[in-house]
Amino acid sequence: MVVGAGILGTMHAWRAVTAGLDVVHLELDAAPRRASVRNFGLVWVSGRAPGPELAAARRARTLWAELASAVPATGFRPNGSLTVAVSEDELAVLAGAMGLPDADERGFELLDASAVRRCHPAVRGEVAGALHCRLDATVEPELVLGALRDAMAASGRYRFEPGRRIVTLARGAVRDDRGRCEAGDVVVVCPGAEHEGLAAEALAGAPLRRCRLQMMDTEADPIAWTTSLADIDSLRYYPAFAGLALDRLPAQPAVAAEHRMQLLAVQRLDGRITIGDTHAYDEPFAVGVVEGPYDHLRQRAETILGRPLPPSRCRWSGVYSQPTDGSVCVRVSPEPGVWVVTGPGGRGMTLSPAIAEETLALAGVPA
């Protein structure tokens, strides 16, 4: 049994179904609508921390490719990414990434300006070069959960039950707020950023915090994108690049520093461009989104593209859960046969296949 139908819960259900088990999948909302559908859909190997996190990302990247062969409707695309430098100083920092001990594991290649344009013809701005990561990929966050549920349902071993608020958790069984019970030999709870309620006791004292971010979609861009894009500020937030000479770069603009911003941009299958993001950690979080970050992100993207972006289509905020100790995720077993898993922290789309594989192995479920 799996509680929680975001990407982490859905990936646990997928691993169990493909292992030949019968799975009951319970979800609070009528359909998943939280962080797992409010994200870039990036499978982002390039910035992962050295060691266990990078190993998990590389394993997950392999699993995503295998999964996409079985379920093409996930929208998986091995399109890679470009982290773009707009000055020689920025390019020098990116060049430092080529000297990282695990640069080859990440599929890094340093491109000059002409090579950037050959790799990504939509980039027409005055750029100095880019760090190309061949292993980065993209899925469609609005499609992937439903595509996996449909594929699982076709097996005859899967039942999805939305609108179920689970209030008690015990070995082999859960009960919802209407008194309805479900039983299972293994129970996996993936509560996302809901650290209270059902998972509160299991997560008490866990090294967790929440992060709020702002993002946006544009209307469809008529020019096809060949890779996802990032700017130099993304290096400030990804642990892979912690040792690089970022202090030699000019300070971020005030709005970017205030909102802990980086530019990430990816084209959806329908041509829309998803752009973000910001990071806020101090709760309670603001209710509304603010305009300054969107103006900054648009300006950064347009500098790289060398042309105006299409008009904005929608804007939103989201909240995700992340560990504070550098772990890949938080995974606890409050009693035999019960697992609570959360906190991939903005890395859920990237890491969830590998996290689910490890959970089920720990639970004794064969691959």
Residue 170, pLDDT above cutoff 90: no
**Residue 335, strand partner residues:** 338
Q: In this model, does residue 37 exceed pLDDT 90?
A: no
Helix (H, G, I), strand (E, B) or coil at 74: helix
Stated pTM of the model: 0.96
Give the CATH fold of the 1-75+139-207+324-367 domain: FAD/NAD(P)-binding domain (3.50.50)
* Exposure letters 55-93 (e unless 16+ CB within 10 A, then b): ebbbbbbebbeebbeebeebbbbebbbbbbbbeeebbbb
Q: At CA 228, angle to CA 353 and CA 34, rounded to 5?
A: 50
Mean pLDDT, residues 191-202 taken together: 92
Name the residue type at position 335.
E
Cβ 107 vs Cβ 30: under 8 Å:
no
Q: Which pLDDT score is estimated for 355?
A: 98
Q: What does the pLDDT read at residue 277?
A: 94
CB 340 within 8 A of CB 321: no
Q: How far is the C-alpha of 216 from the C-alpha of 273, rounded, in Å?
A: 8
| Matching residue, tokens 């989201």 | 318
Mean per-residue pLDDT for 58-70? 97
- For residue 265, what pLDDT is reported? 98
Please give the distance of CA 190 from its chain centroid, rounded to a whole number: 15
Domain ranges of the chain: 1-75+139-207+324-367
Span 106-137, pLDDT tens digits: 999 999 999 999 999 999 999 999 999 999 99
Contact indicator for 16, 116 with CB cutoff of 8 Å: no
Express each pLDDT in 305-331 by its tens digit.
999 999 999 999 999 999 999 999 999
* Residue 364 exposed, middle or buried by CB count within 10 Å (0-12, 13-18, 19+): exposed
Buried/exposed code over 215-242 (b: 16+ C-beta within 10 A; e: otherwise):
bbbbeebeeebebbbbbbbbbbbbebbe
pLDDT confidence of 349, banded at 50, 70, 90? very high
